[in-house]
Amino acid sequence: MANRIEDYALIGDCETAALVGRDGSIDWLCWPRFDSAAVFAALLGDGGNGHWRIAAVDEEARVSRRYRGDTLILETEIVTADGAATVIDFMPLRTRGGSSHIIRMIAGRHGRVAMHTRLVLRFDYGTMVPWVTRLDRGTIKAIAGPDMAVLRTDVDMQADGFSHRAQFTVNAGDRTTFVLGYAPSFHPLPEPLSPVAALEETEQAWAKWSRGYQPAGNYADEVLRSLITLKGLTYRPTGGIVAAPTTSLPEKLGGTRNWDYRYCWLRDATFTLFALMNCGFEEEAEAWRGWLQRAVAGNPAQVQIMYGLAGERRLDEWELADLAGYQGAKPVRIGNGAAKQLQIDIFGEVMDALFQSGKRGLAPMGAEWNLQLKLVEHLETIWREPDQGLWEVRGGPRQFTHSKVMAWVALDRAIKSSESFGVAGPIERWRRLRDAIHAEVCDCGYNAKLGAFVQSYGSTNLDASALLIPLVGFLPPDDRRVQSTLAMIERHLVIDGLVHRYDTGHADDGLPVGEGAFLACSFWFADNLVLLGRRRQAQELFEHLLGLANDVGLLSEEYDPVAKRMLGNFPQAFSHVALVNTANNLCKSENPAAQRSGAQPSPAAAQPLPAKSG
């Protein structure tokens, strides 16, 4: 059975990534891209679906982990009664046209440590057993269809059925290495690497990148770890950022809400831009913006909510019956059918992202303005339609309040773009429509009897997406309706200090209820508290959320406060983006909440942040 989600760490080369368990097993790796078929898929099945473990023979060995400095180089310390060793796992950043590699290096610290390894290669999501050839004593080649993997090592690997095993001992000062490379089967072998030189180059590359960081006050280390995670989830050739490197990790243990997150969502755009820009990474912000602009180019009626790493639009969903699912949670889904849903909020997200990036001077408002004009023109014809909403429900479409709020945002940012950048547009028509949408949302989306903005028109269900109303500037944070909504969410959607997306007793998509708390929503709640000047409460919530990260600082999509388990795909870009922005809201005068909403925080919100609690 796979490890707990929180027991994994991430390594990657900014084109794909692997999950390494505390037990030393790599249980997930898609090659050569994030969205390619997995070669190690034990995460969604068992060891026979592909994994690669390196561990101490002594099952009582003490294990601890950390990242080496400000990098994605993972170091696992192993201590036994006989000695200590460090397993160093990393993926060198690829050269243009070069192969992808995983390097595993075991360094003896003192005494001697008996180790063992087992390599099970399975292409095509753990279903295809490759044909394996030994090229020489230390080189093994595996081929199946279009895929090839080559292992080079100084350890004598022995065939064992359809896997390879070895036992070896690491003495103080010794260094044992394994290099596993990937290439298409019809290409030459992956180029050989010097593990020591590759380690030095990888460390230097991450250190150079991290030097651009502009720290976020008291939480500088936690924020930088989240930014490194976001960088690790970036597909470097295009600038696209995947929501997560995994598919089908469940929102409920044993449940069926299991989705493929190895794609790029439009609704993450503005929050991602702020997270990168406010921390000094404008090159990454510009690359993400460039991906966004290219992805949505074309007929506005065909804009999708998500795209592939290079902007691909065909993300057809299918179920993989050959895998048992994460700890039995089925189905395992490949692709994401929600890509074809109508979600009106994305128009507001795209317009806001391009407006905010224009304000920061990432690119002049030139030819792309024509694209924005067409997007708004199309929105004018569809904004009244029901849609599937922010949470991508798979029941019938509804008039979601958040979707209408974001339609307002699209018009508002179009007006501001025209006024700020001197580009032409039908501003008076836009103003009339913006005001009409605002009035409708306040009339139909707010339930006066309940005292809160609700999930959809005519509903009595609360929804944490209402926390975005002041954050996008639809209403000021001190508006009585905003404050009463916040109070209702605090009373009914906050469980053990964490915010759930909506009332879990009202699932309308035909799927079981009982998901965990949604971490991004919990960060949004803290952002609202900052805007209201309730900084001590915001700080306490923020530090509670930081405490949910695993031992190497990673967050999933959701958290089960009862089982004390992470849920959902991992690590989750949206959770880390939200962490970065909330830290900046707490620590910086130039912060995302004020920048995006245009709201002036209460006087208490501008006071210096006290030292970390505890």
pLDDT tens profile 195-234: 999 999 999 999 999 999 998 788 999 999 999 999 999 9
**Domain assignment present for 524:** yes
Cα distances from 323 to residues 28, 182, 329, in angstroms, run: 13, 23, 10
**Domain assignment present for 212:** no
Same domain, 328 and 361: yes
Same domain, 416 and 325: yes
SS3 of residue 165 by DSSP: strand
Question: For residue 458, which phi and psi values (nearest 5 degrees)?
Answer: 80, -5
Question: For residue 69, which phi and psi values (nearest 5 degrees)?
Answer: 55, -140
Q: For 63-105, what is each residue's pLDDT tens digit?
A: 999 999 999 999 999 999 999 999 999 999 998 778 999 999 9
Least confident of 24-38, 349-363, 497-511: 497-511
Same domain, 98 and 236: no
Same domain, 191 and 231: no
**Domain assignment present for 210:** no
Q: What is the token pair recorded at 287?
A: 């690359």
Instruction: Pick the last residue of a domain from 175, 205, 235.
Output: 205
| Residues spanned by the domain of 124 | 5-205
pTM confidence score: 0.95
pLDDT at 321: 95
Closest CA to 598 of 470, 447, 438: 470
Sign of the alpha-carbon dihedral angle for 218, 224, 583, 65 = negative
**Domain assignment present for 614:** no
C-alpha span between 386 and 344 (Å, rounded): 9
Same domain, 96 and 197: yes
Q: For 131-185, what is each residue's pLDDT tens digit?
A: 999 998 889 999 999 999 999 999 999 999 899 999 999 999 999 999 999 999 9
**Domain assignment present for 321:** yes
Average pLDDT, the chain: 93
Same domain, 522 and 568: yes
510 pLDDT more than 60:
no
- Torsion, Cα 281 368 294 225, to 10 degrees, reads 20
Same domain, 195 and 73: yes
400 pLDDT more than 80:
yes
Least confident of 120-124, 204-208, 444-448, 491-495: 491-495
Report yes or no: 44 and 25 within 8 Å, Cβ to Cβ.
no
Report yes or no: 556 and 570 within 8 Å, Cβ to Cβ.
yes
pLDDT at 508: 46
Question: For residue 182, which phi and psi values (nearest 5 degrees)?
Answer: -120, 145
pLDDT at 512: 36
513 pLDDT more than 60:
no
505 pLDDT more than 90:
no
**Domain assignment present for 280:** yes
Question: For residue 405, which phi and psi values (nearest 5 degrees)?
Answer: -60, -40
**Domain assignment present for 612:** no
Same domain, 282 and 393: yes
Residue identified by tokens 């063992």 is: 116
Q: Residue 190: give its domain's CATH number.
A: 2.70.98.40
Question: For residue 342, which phi and psi values (nearest 5 degrees)?
Answer: -85, 120
Q: What is the token pair recorded at 70?
A: 């400000």
Same domain, 431 and 551: yes
Mean pLDDT of the region 261-277: 93
Q: For 21-37, what is each residue's pLDDT tens digit?
A: 999 999 999 999 999 99
pLDDT at 143: 97
Tell me how many domains the chain contains. 2
Same domain, 181 and 226: no
Mean pLDDT of the region 465-492: 97
Give the count of beta carbons closer than 10 Å to the beta carbon of residue 478: 15
Same domain, 570 and 461: yes
pLDDT at 118: 98
pLDDT at 137: 85
608 pLDDT more than 60:
no
**Domain assignment present for 313:** yes
Q: Residue 266: give its domain's CATH number.
A: 1.50.10.10
Q: What is the token pair recorded at 451?
A: 């005292």
Amino acid of residue 69: G
77 beta partners: 64, 86
Same domain, 180 and 292: no
Question: For residue 253, which phi and psi values (nearest 5 degrees)?
Answer: -55, 125
305 pLDDT more than 70:
yes
Instruction: Pick the last residue of a domain from 173, 205, 237.
Output: 205
